Amino acid sequence: MLGPEVRVEFMDIWGKKMSNYFWNILARLAYPLFWERYKKQASALGLREPVFVLSFDCDTDADAEATVDILEWLTAHDIKISLAVPGEQLLKHADLYRAAAEHADFINHGARPHAEWHDGRYWSTTFYDQMSVSDVVNDIVQGHRIVCDTTGKIPRGFRAPHFAHVQHPRLQRKIHHALRKLKYAYSSSTLPREAFFKAPIYKIDEIYEIPVTGRYNAPFNVFDSWSHVHSPEFPTILQTYPRRLQDTVDALQEFNIPAILNYYVDPSHVIKQPLFYETLLTIQEQGILFYSFEDVLVRLHLIEQPHPQYEEATL
Ligand SMILES: [Zn+2]
């Protein structure tokens, strides 16, 4: 027999899961209505067309190697990206990421490792909802220091590790409080539904939150490379990932919906899939611009340039 506290927690988790399923299914059924609402919110922000914000989640050694190759290709094709690398990986591949900082913006992605290898595959590790608040804040501050020391640039944005686990408003407030102390401008640690319930960019505690984006006909579901790999043991994306990405861009253009296409991929998942590269080029040919998070905020007049220099770093 469960004790009352365990029962309450079980009901709380179960209730949230059911609520998520309900909204995800409703959004799949009535996606044109949800996008109609999104369009109004995006237009109110000053967005006039879809813009692409591509970020790489570089949690593993395989991602570090893949980043070098892909970044060279992206730079040659004028496609800008942001990198989210845990501090442990930044220190391990410091030379590589220092060179990458010339072509990409870095966001603080915490300090602890996000993945560990055993039993023939990577497993996720470091979940903020299972850590004390002081350990979470410490991880954010250490992550900040490591980005500064490794790249020579001050990050102005943050993405929480495995951010689906930091959706509780109380935890978000604690995280944003820490980001404000570091003088950050933005975070991208919320789920696609927030872009519809709140706005494509909204503020929590002086920090702009930029939710990740779903697909056109599944707008509340996270659309990342991990959810389209062959298997955890063979983590290369299926062709469905670039195809669905293209479908979303086509639909947003067709229905004239200004949007922030905030997508993240693990570079090791996409490096061996030529259709991913071809799709990015097609999207570029359709006139969609690739921005960093910071570019979007500057263009919407929400923050000012320039990027602060390393010497001005204060903790
Ligand atoms: Zn990560």
> Cα of 155 to ligand 1 centre, how many Å?
16
Task: Flag whether pLDDT at 2 surpasses 50.
Answer: no
Task: Flag whether pLDDT at 9 surpasses 70.
Answer: no
Q: What is the mean pLDDT of the chain?
A: 89
Residue owning tokens 């991602």: 63
> Cα of 7 to ligand 1 centre, how many Å?
32
> Cα of 161 to ligand 1 centre, how many Å?
5
pLDDT tens digits for range 117-172? 988 898 998 999 999 999 999 999 999 999 999 999 999 999 999 988 888 888 99
The answer to whether 47 and 256 have CB atoms below 8 angstroms apart is: no
Q: What is the pLDDT of residue 315?
A: 43
CATH number, domain containing residue 293: 3.20.20.370
Q: What is the pLDDT of residue 31?
A: 79
Angle at 275 between CA 238 and CA 215, to 5 degrees: 65
> Cα of 67 to ligand 1 centre, how many Å?
14
**Pairing between β-strand 115-118 and β-strand 121-124 as defined by DSSP bridges:** antiparallel
Helix (H/G/I), strand (E/B), else coil: 116: strand
| pTM across the whole model | 0.88
The answer to whether 104 and 153 have CB atoms below 8 angstroms apart is: no
> Cα of 244 to ligand 1 centre, how many Å?
23
Range of the domain at 224: 4-312
> Cα of 296 to ligand 1 centre, how many Å?
22
> Cα of 124 to ligand 1 centre, how many Å?
9
In single-letter form, the type of residue at position 45 comes to L
> Cα of 86 to ligand 1 centre, how many Å?
6
- 311, two tokens: 């010497």
> Cα of 213 to ligand 1 centre, how many Å?
17
Q: How many whole angstroms separate alpha carbon 14 and alpha carbon 311?
A: 48
> Cα of 43 to ligand 1 centre, how many Å?
31
> Cα of 1 to ligand 1 centre, how many Å?
38
Q: How many whole angstroms separate alpha carbon 122 and alpha carbon 107?
A: 23
Q: Given pLDDT bands bounded at 50, 70 and 90, which one contains residue 6?
A: very low
> Cα of 139 to ligand 1 centre, how many Å?
13
Q: How many domains does the chain have?
A: 1
